Structure 1
């Protein structure tokens, strides 16, 4: 089965489970798919994959925003800023991974390979 067919089956299953579209297809995913990336809905990704993805993007974006809006003006050492960003990313990634794992289990969603 092609990626597009699996994606359509997954979106149908997510809609039937009454999971909000903004939850299973956030704007960044829409953008990346339009750019040609084959990204599955987070409910169908592994815990590890969701953890790494969420940790990286959140830690980097949040760290950059905090550096230019607050930390730089407060003369925070760059090592502490990087450590804080990494820690925030790990915490965010852990909670998001747990959320998607729990949501998939609660709604009895199929495995991606079974679609």
Structure 2
């Protein structure tokens, strides 16, 4: 059962990450994308005050499942872990973390832009 949960987290978390990065492209998904990005920011920066900046409960739960399976993952970054797991490429973690934050803020900015644009258009 733990193996199924492990694969579920890889698939679910991977899809969530892609949705956060690209969800603003589909107009019908934009509000959900903004909510998801806002929850991610809350997790990283508010929960992160208590658990460490960048904290994600999904990552936390997945790491616990992998520990129970006996895996000793060397990545501190979930994105680094996914890149390594899916492609086998071991990029520098600092580079992956920096790129992750830059892509996150770019996606969040675009999502906010479309939300504000929609609100302004409704007022007219």
TM-score range for the pair, normalised by the shorter chain length: 0.3 to 0.5
Q: TM-score, normalised by structure 1?
A: 0.39
Between 1 and 2, higher relative CO (CA 8 Å, sep ≥ 6) is seen in 1
Q: TM-score, normalised by structure 2?
A: 0.37
Query: Greater helix percent: which structure?
Result: 2
